[in-house]
Amino acid sequence: MPQTLSAFAAPGNEPDYEAGSLPLGVSVFADRAGLRDEIVEDALAAGLRLAAAGSVAELSGSEPRPLGDVVLIDAPANDAAALAALARVDLRAARSGAQLVVSTSLAALDDVFGCLDQSGAQILVAPSRAERVIALGRVLAGVPRGRVRELSDDDRLTLLRLTEQVGELAGRIDRIAAPADAASVFRFESPAAAWAGATGGEPGDRLSRTTRPALPDPRLVRRIIRQRQLRARFFDGALFADPAWDILLDLTAARAEHKRVSVTSLCIASGVPPTTALRWIAQMTEAGLLARVEDESDRRRAFVALTERAAEAMARYFAELGRDGGRLV
């Protein structure tokens, strides 16, 4: 039977660590006690040390709770107090270098996304226990070498094994392998670089005189999106899953329509589970394809948009397709 949080925290139950081998500390905040115990159990099983645990409301107290090296928060509701607490923790994590993972609901996703703009937090939407473990493995795999200097060789070996197992599990759950290296998967070459590579010369004056083609008619892009979605009526949707392309199409149409796209809307447009879509959005942002855009009228909200380079690439792609683009799926 799994131990409860009280058992983990009881005096005398702390594991014996050798000098100089203290594991990374984890803080867990969730209002549902059973879920909090479950998250703590998984974190300890991963070799982390419990630094703090409590409800989300405790993050708003006058005396801030310790964050530790890894912070796991469950915030399914979007009430003002919880959002304010998330914003403060996000800033603290950014300043301290702590790795932040926040799980929420689809209804609260836009508000939570708007609060987390400093630390590069992972956001999960209604995650299963396996998805939480996957997120934890991603956090541990991304900890800089300098932050794990206190781990023993055995701890590092355990960490590597956990990361491998998490990666295999992620592939089975999502049915697609989320790219580990965004820069190599989303290989993004500017038109200038492509021209120079093809001709062996400098793009220089020729490119400066070349005007960027206009974005495609949004009706054409929306028709392509509908055609892609139509396949799910006759085949398993996972068979054609291509979230990166669906995200680019949706943002291209929105840009041509002069509309802003929320992260929730973009997750739906991607055609994959929200947590999977958020991983792709994060990786595409890192690769320079997408950008976070703050809402000037409400700093608590944020949107996602194409970068200028990505918009130019999409414009040139559709210009190359020409009038036959509408026939393609």
Q: Which pLDDT score is estimated for 302?
A: 94
Q: Which pLDDT score is estimated for 196?
A: 44
Domain(s) labelled CATH 1.10.10.10 in the chain stretch across 191-327
- For domain 191-327, give its CATH number from 1.10.10.10, 3.40.50.720, 1.20.1370.20, 1.10.760.10: 1.10.10.10
Smallest CA-to-CA distance from 309 within 291, 282, 295 is with 291
CB 123 within 8 A of CB 113: yes
How would you class 283 by CB atoms within 10 Å of its CB: exposed for 0-12, middle for 13-18, buried for 19 or more?
buried
- 3-state percent helix, strand, coil for the chain, nearest multiple of 5: 55, 10, 35
Q: Would you write out the chain's pLDDT as a tens digit for each of its 329 residues?
A: 444 444 444 444 444 444 444 578 999 999 999 999 999 999 998 888 999 999 988 887 666 677 889 999 999 988 888 898 899 999 999 999 999 999 999 999 999 999 999 999 999 999 999 889 888 888 877 665 444 444 555 555 555 455 555 555 555 554 444 444 544 555 555 444 444 444 444 444 444 445 778 898 999 999 989 988 888 888 887 788 889 999 999 999 999 999 999 999 999 999 889 998 999 999 999 999 999 999 888 877 899 999 999 999 999 999 988 766 555 54
Q: Which pLDDT score is estimated for 291?
A: 97
Three-class DSSP category at 26: strand
Place domain 5-174 in its CATH homologous superfamily: Response regulator (3.40.50.2300)
CB 75 within 8 A of CB 56: yes
Domain(s) labelled CATH 3.40.50.2300 in the chain stretch across 5-174
User: CA 77 to CA 60: how far, in whole Å?
Assistant: 15
Q: Which pLDDT score is estimated for 6?
A: 42
Q: State both tokens at 262.
A: 């929320």
The Cβ of residue 323 has, within 10 Å, a number of other Cβ atoms equal to: 7
